[in-house]
A = this chain, B = another copy of it.
Amino acid sequence: MVAKQNTQQKILDAAQSLFAETGFNDTSLRQITSLAEVNLAAVNYHFGSKKELIQAVLQRYLRVLMVRLDQEFNRLLAAQQPNNLTQVLAVFVKPLLELNSVHNNGTRIFLQLLGRGYTDVQGHLRWFINNHYGRVLDKFVLLVQQSCPQLPASELFWRLHFSLGTVVFTMASNEALAEIAEADFNEEVDIEGVIQRLLPYLAAGIAAPVYTRSHPQQQLRSGT
């Protein structure tokens, strides 16, 4: 009983690191079981398949994160007047940082895994997240919509995905970026610092003036 828990845990721990670093498809079960110091067959015995292992790795974080996010969303939704965008975005900070209690560097690892789930060809993952937590995330979209009532729904859709890309990419290359920043600017960089830098960027991007052909105060037009 203890041994089983231990093996599963060891596999999850090894898998998440390798997945985050190298991606899902480019990480082999042999790499995982070798790092975890368990037998190759243990993955299929305990999790069924590689696909289910991937989901289990993410599930460990999603379970914790989504409950917390749902609480925060409900709190904001209960407000009488719309919250401003910065407040809405800032709501992610605490729940994300709390993932560090799930595992060492949990925040960074989870965000990297999330990125892999979107950039690797992992259709089952997108389906998995959407089917399990779509309702929670809908609340977030609603909150953003309320804070930017003049933003068309389609524009909002794109900008939220732009933002997802910003976060995911930044976290994926976090180590490299932090190294450069520390070397070039003598700055201590931790995950929390990066998140604090991200928020104003995201808020400004999401709330940016919408481009229209009628009054292109910006020179965005190209020769068509």
Bound complex: CA of A157 vs CA of B184, how far in Å?
10
- Residues of chain B lying within 8 A (CB to CB) of residue A5: none
Cross-chain contact A197 with B177 (CB below 8 angstroms): no
Task: Report which of B90, B157, B207 forms a contact with A204, defined as CB distance below 8 A.
Answer: B207
Cross-chain contact A200 with B207 (CB below 8 angstroms): no
- Residues of chain B lying within 8 A (CB to CB) of residue A120: 23, 26, 119
Cross-chain contact A198 with B154 (CB below 8 angstroms): no
A122 to chain B minimum Cβ distance, whole angstroms, is 10
Within 177-201 of A, Cβ neighbours of B (below 8 Å) are at 177, 180-181, 184-185, 187, 192, 194, 196-201
Does A148 count as interface, using CB distance less than 8 angstroms?
A: yes
Does A173 count as interface, using CB distance less than 8 angstroms?
A: yes
A175 to chain B minimum Cβ distance, whole angstroms, is 11
Bound complex: CA of A119 vs CA of B90, how far in Å?
26
Cross-chain contact B166 with A197 (CB below 8 angstroms): no
Within 141-187 of A, Cβ neighbours of B (below 8 Å) are at 148, 150-151, 153-155, 157-159, 161-170, 172-173, 176-177, 180-181, 184-185, 187
- Residues of chain B lying within 8 A (CB to CB) of residue A25: 23, 25-26
Bound complex: CA of A23 vs CA of B159, how far in Å?
24
Complex A-B, nearest 7 residue pairs according to Cβ-Cβ distance, in ascending order: A165-B169, A204-B208, A205-B205, A119-B119, A154-B185, A207-B222, A86-B218
Q: Which residues of A contact B (CB under 8 A)?
A: 22-23, 25-26, 84-87, 90, 93-94, 97, 115, 118-121, 126, 148, 150-151, 153-155, 157-159, 161-170, 172-173, 176-177, 180-181, 184-185, 187, 192, 194, 196-212, 217-224
Chain A to chain B contacts (Cβ below 8 Å), 21 pairs: A22-B121, A23-B120, A25-B25, A84-B219, A84-B220, A86-B219, A86-B220, A93-B220, A119-B120, A119-B172, A148-B221, A150-B224, A158-B201, A163-B166, A165-B169, A169-B169, A203-B208, A203-B220, A204-B205, A204-B207, A205-B208
